[in-house]
Structures are given as C-alpha cells and as structure tokens.
Amino acid sequence: MNLMVHFAKPVSVYDNWINKCVGRYCHCEISVKMDAALFSVMVDSAISEAYAPAYLEKILKKTKRVKGKLHFCFYVLLNDYVDIRFFNDLGDDFYNPVPEVYDTIEIEIDSMQRLKDFVVYNLCQLGKSYDLCRAVCLYLPFTLRTHQPDKFFCSQLVMHSLNHIDITTDQDINHMKPDDVYDWLTIKVANNASNGSSKTRPTNHSDNATTIQSTTSIMEPVRQTKL
C-alpha cells in the first residue's frame, strides 16, 4: 500500500513565469493506487462528514462501475479548490502524467487503517478553496497559524494529509513550500539510513529503495522514483 508524493518541476503543463519563480518545485500532491471497490467503500463512509457531500456522491457514482485498480491523486492548484484527479479513463477528461515533469517519493504504509484514514481525510477536504493568503506568506518570514485549515495550498494539503496519519515534523506545516517538503522527506530518508534503520531493494524505477519510518513507526519503504 503506497502513497506517492509527487513534486512538479516548472516545465510542461506547469511552465509559466509564476511557477518558474517559486523554486525547484512549483507544486506537490499525493496519489495512491487501490482497489476500486475498496475506494467506493471509503467514499461512501466519508459522505456524511465531507465538506462537499454532493461531490462525493458524484465520485461514488462514477467509480462504482470501475473494475480492478484505481489510480487517483488529491491536489489543489492556484486559485482553484481541493480536488481529486483520476489517472484512469473514466469516460471524461483525465490527466495522463508526463514522466519528465515529476520527482516522486513513494511511501509504503503497513496498515490498511492508515491508508483509509489518509483517503477519507482527503475526501472530506474536497471542495475547499485555495489558501492564497498563506501561500503568499510562504515567501515571508511569518504565516497565519492554524491547527486545521478551512483552505489549503498544495504543500499545506500534503503536509496535513501526512500529519493526519502520524507522519510528523517539527516544522510549521502551514509554512512549507514544495521544496521544503521534498527536502524534509529526503533528509528523513538519509537520517534513517545513517541510523541503520533503512534497507535497500530493487524497484522498477531505480536501482535502490530506501526506507523511512514515521515517529510512530508506521512507515516502511520510501523510494525516490520518476512518475
């Protein structure tokens, strides 16, 4: 059971002057692959607590007819709202990832409950608007602090999603750019390796895989790959 944290470079669909000014990465998001039937159960369980229950009803209707695996991504773009994107063709426009656009850190979770918590948490955020004010504050020495935002920018959504399943950091998760998230995960991998708590194994995308563990020891391998 894997979460894939994708970090977009300012190229291809992200190639504009704003994205080129923000750092190595202009956007980040998390995707997951899972059985379509299981996903439908999770959607159904989230409807009563969702910010946009009618939207979840539409998602449920769309995905119930799917057999096999779904690959989907939770994300929020500038001046948009928190949304879900399916990499499967579900009969409407769908996004096909461009391999050279993303660097990816893949996290394996050893608990179905943790995976459900991650998915349901994000389903409940769908429809919330973009947090432009805090996004601007990323480039200032201060931010507006909040425990649970009612708006998100991309890296804030990623960090709150990870924090929700006990993957935590001492940094202010409301004040981390995509570069900061990437560096934090990369350092976490390196620290685990130096402490002897990591292992390597072949993957389909690279020669080695590295292990990361969360503060509650629920995490296993993290792999740096290309999407």
Residue of 187, 138, 165 lying closest to 74 (CA atoms): 165
Q: What pLDDT sits at residue 16?
A: 87
Give, for 103, the enclosing helix (H) or strand (E): strand 102-109
Q: Which two tokens stand for residue 120?
A: 């349901």
Q: Could you give the CA distance from residue 10 to residue 78 in angstroms, rounded to a whole number? A: 14
Q: What is the pLDDT of residue 220?
A: 30
Contact 174, 149 (CB under 8 A): yes
Q: Sheet of 2-8: strands edge to edge?
A: 83-86, 69-75, 27-35, 2-8, 102-109, 219-225, 210-211
Contacts of residue 53, defined as CB under 8 A and 6 or more positions apart, other chains included, come to 47
Amino acid identity for residue 197 in this structure: S
Number of domains in the chain: 1
Q: Going by C-beta distance under 8 Å and a sequence separation of 6 or more, which residues neighbour residue 69?
A: 33, 34, 35, 36
Which residue range is the domain that position 56 belongs to? 2-225
pTM exceeds 0.85 for this model = no
pLDDT for the residue 142: 65
Give the pLDDT confidence score for residue 132 in this predicted structure. Answer: 80
What per-residue confidence (pLDDT) applies to 226? 35
- pLDDT of residue 131 exceeding 60, the answer is yes
End-to-end CA distance of the chain: 16
Mean pLDDT (whole number) for 159-166: 94
Question: Which positions ≥6 away from 66 have C-beta within 8 Å?
Answer: 36, 88, 90
Residue 204 confidence (pLDDT): 34
